[in-house]
Amino acid sequence: MNTTSGPNAPRPTPGAHSTPGAHSTPGGPTAVDTVERIPILDWTMPQLTQWLTDRSFPKFRAGQIFRWIYQRRANTFEQMTDLPKELRAQLDSAFEIFRSTTAAHQHSSDGTEKLLLQLADGGRIECVLLRDGPRRSICVSSQVGCAMGCVFCASGLDGVERNLTRGEILEQMLKLQQLLEPDERLSHIVMMGMGEPLANLPRVLDALEVAKDSDLGLGISPRRITISTVGLPPAIDKLAAADAPYHLAISLHAPNDELRNRLVPVNKNTGIDAILDAADRYFDKTRRRLTFEYVLLGGLNDSVQCARQLVQLLRGRTAMLNVIPYNPVPGLPYETPSPDAVLQFRRNLLDGGINVMFRQRKGDDIQAACGQLRRLREREPQVVGISQLPGSTT
């Protein structure tokens, strides 16, 4: 597992002045005896091994603890019954496993479940479990809010608050894993929740290291992990250099800069050509087929001309185009195209020889689209329409 770095790096082991268990002192904490417990999901194997060694516990306990958390779905140290009682007590004093509370839990009739999590600092994020045949896919957030400002997306309407930590990204995965039946296993991860994963790349990569670790972590093949990005060329290059062979999905949404600048304002800083160049470099390095996502907005980017331009743009690339009908966001003026318009658009692309996929709608009745539930809970309760989660991998 990687060592976490940057502003969200884990705090050091509690020092000698700390009083184990003091966090539960009756009458409330005082300046002297307060010990904030460490989020264990922020910790790496070497860090936990060191902590155990410092306390004269054998090193192999670290592996046992991580397997309990990531594979055996424990949510308390007490459940780790093959650890000595003394160790469990010390772990409980020093660490927390889950730090968020579940502010909302919604079930869709199609098996999709969505969690709205309230983080320790009050920030709220969403994550989703999708059941599709044998697949158990999860959609995970990378930031509280989003700075990209895509005009049709609920996540970015209030801007970005902050990056999530490695532990907060992992916590979503574990909380969704806990929703599974004992005989169900997570199979796919898509970083397509709130936020721009490539704007928080170090933490996303740290968390995905654990997700793909089959010895101590979740054991999900990197082929089944998708990072979805608005398209930030330098960060795409960094991802390629990190030698993490994840599936890359690029949210294109428009076939020319004039339209994309309107729909995806950060495009003004990059332009489509630079994004496609970076995508080509990613493909050359990883040989992984890319996915381009295209949210279909009625009357805006669903014309025959747009389809033709898209064909020109993507022709010759080993890529899949994932067309997603817009999910209405209350208060936004965009429209879901009619089924006929969707069909026609699809036909035009297929005629042009483009690999195109239209995803089944999932979670229609629970606002499963990016950032929708959070906004719903912040405002007046109201019924919003469709939701759907775009593409994933093999």
What's the min distance (Å) between Cβ of 357 and ligand SAH? 13
End-to-end CA distance of the chain: 24
Identify the residue among 196, 206, 209, 302 touching ligand SAH (CB under 6 A).
Answer: 196
C-beta closer to ligand SAH: residue 108 or 228:
228
For position 115 contacting ligand SAH by CB under 6 A, the verdict is: no
Least CB distance from residue 363 to ligand SAH, whole Å?
A: 12
Catalytic choice (96, 126, 161, 196): 126
Instruction: Write down the catalytic residue from 146, 150, 153, 370.
Output: 370
- Give the tokens for residue 377: 């809970």
**Residue with Cβ nearer ligand SAH (172 or 229):** 229
Which residue in 171, 209, 293, 302 binds ligand SAH (CB under 6 A)?
Answer: 293
Closer CB to ligand SAH, 150 or 170, in the complex = 150
Q: Minimum distance from CB of 250 to ligand SAH (Å)?
A: 7
From residue 216 to residue 255, the character string flagging contacts with ligand SAH as x (rule: CB under 6 A) and all else as - is ------------xxx--------------------x----
Alpha-carbon distance of 276 to 272, in angstroms, equals 6
Does position 263 bind ligand SAH by CB under 6 A? no
Contact 102, 95 (CB under 8 A): no
CB of 297 to ligand SAH, least distance (A): 9
The residue to which tokens 């592996």 are assigned: 63
Q: Does 152 bind ligand SAH (CB under 6 A)?
A: yes
- Considering the rule CB under 6 A, would residue 272 count as an interface residue with ligand SAH? no
- Which one, of 283, 348, 276, lies nearest residue 314 by Cα? 276
Q: With binding defined as CB under 6 A, does residue 327 bind ligand SAH?
A: yes
Is 370 in the active site? yes
| Sheet with 135-139, side-by-side order of all strands | 101-107, 113-118, 124-132, 135-139, 188-191, 225-229, 247-251, 290-296, 319-325, 356-358
Q: CB nearer to ligand SAH: give 61 or 375.
A: 375
- Is there binding between residue 148 and ligand SAH (CB under 6 A)? yes
Q: How far is the CB of 171 from ligand SAH (least distance, A)?
A: 18
Shortest spacing between CB 230 and ligand SAH, in angstroms: 4
- Identify whether 181 is a catalytic site residue: no
- Sequence length of the chain is 394
Q: Does 192 bind ligand SAH (CB under 6 A)?
A: yes
| Min separation Cβ 112 and ligand SAH, Å | 15
Of 67-75, 174-182, 283-291, 320-328, the segment contacting ligand SAH by CB under 6 A is: 320-328
For the window 59-98, what string marks contact with ligand SAH as x by the rule CB under 6 A? ----------------------------------------
Closest to ligand SAH by CB, 65 or 384:
384
Q: Which stretch binds ligand SAH (CB under 6 A): 114-122, 164-172, 311-319, 322-330?
A: 322-330
The residue from 290, 369, 373, 376 that contacts ligand SAH (CB under 6 A) is 369
Catalytic residue annotation: 126, 370
Q: What does the binding site for ligand SAH look like in residue numbers (CB under 6 A)?
A: 148, 150, 152-153, 192, 196, 228-230, 251, 293, 295, 324, 326-327, 329, 369-370, 390
